[in-house]
Amino acid sequence: MDWILHNDEFIQEVDLKISKEDRGYQFGDGIYEVIRVYGGDLYTAKEHIDRFYASAEKVKIVVPYTKDVFHKLMYDLVERNEINNGQVYVQITRGAFMRQHHFPSDTSPVVVAYTKSVERPLELMRNGAHAIFLEDIRWLRCDIKSLNLLGNVMAKQEAYENGCYEAVLHRGEVITEGSSSNMYGIKDGILYTHPATNLILDGITRRTILGLCDELGITVQQTPMTKDQALDMDEFFMSSTTAEIIPLTQIDGNKIGTGERGTLTEKLQKAFEAKLNLGVQI
Ligand code: PDD
């Protein structure tokens, strides 16, 4: 059976005891990360760990170990569970206390992490997916990887109920990001994406993609797109830790560009894959 990390102990799931008054459970009072594992290695671990600590700090939760210890715990978990290709989910909550909104004075945070084997979504990467536009009704601190995901969950569900894979969220006319991904459009060889403000999560995959654009000589404009501009793009795609780069070939039933994976999207996918040392798969 798989091991679970509970604070600084590796335990079995049957032994995991979480209080009914854990503030993560009652208020979504905590933050999380999803880290990809390729070939038994944590991918872009430092970036994910830095963001975990940054999110925690923004909500005034103190992670109870150093980043080095945290990294080692994540690594040990992957090794113990013999994960080759998969992911680590890790969250920290403010801990358990009699229910009240303001922070308790002396509560210890609770960390839980577990692993899962996951395959790369190769079929979607090649053939793309469809999306819908939805108003972004989330709070104004989307830069924090908060456990409060109700706005995201509702958006994803709406996409699924409409036979789509993702929701392209917009505030008024301006596209922010996806329900669990970042969004990009390509027009005349220039890549457009929302700047990393409080309105989006500064995705680790996004940072990798912007680095690849630099290497490949693709001009990037971190300028928000409007919905009309998005529909007029030559190519459109989304990114996340688990999805990597998935072309979005239709939004609200409108074809983007040719309605198939675009050439620069494919080039970025291949460049992304080349860094994983998994051979050619896409
Ligand atoms: N989601 N924006 C949102 C709202 C997200 O939830 C995610 C990732 C991203 C992409 O970030 P990254 O490239 O660092 O994964 C952007 C994760 C995978 C999840 O909640 O499962």
What are the extents of the domains in the chain? Answer: 3-117, 122-274
Cβ(148)–Cβ(54) below 8 Å: no
d(CA 140, CA 39): 37
Q: Which of 48, 91, 171, 241 to mutate to test the pocket of ligand 1 (most atoms within 8 A of CB)?
A: 241
Ranges of residues in the chain whose predicted pLDDT is under 50:
none
Polymer length of the chain: 282
Q: Is the CB of 87 within 6 Å of ligand 1? A: no
The CATH architecture that domain 122-274 belongs to is: Alpha-Beta Barrel (3.20)
Ligand 1, atom 9: closest residue by C-alpha: 181
3-117 and 122-274 in the same fold: no
CB 151, CB 135: distance < 8 Å: no
In the beta sheet, which residues pair with residue 166? Answer: 131
pTM as predicted: 0.98
Q: Known catalytic residues? A: 145
Instruction: Kindly indicate whether the domain formed by 3-117 is annotated with CATH number 3.30.470.10.
Output: yes
- Atom 20 in ligand 1: residue holding the nearest Cα: 180
Ligand 1 atom 5: residue of nearest CA: 180
- Residue 106's pLDDT is 86
Alpha helices by DSSP H, listed for the chain, are 23-27, 45-58, 67-80, 122-127, 150-161, 204-216, 227-231, 263-274
Say what the pLDDT of residue 271 is: 98
Residue-level pLDDT at 105: 87
Residue 104 CA to ligand 1 centre (angstroms): 29
Which amino acid is present at 225?
M
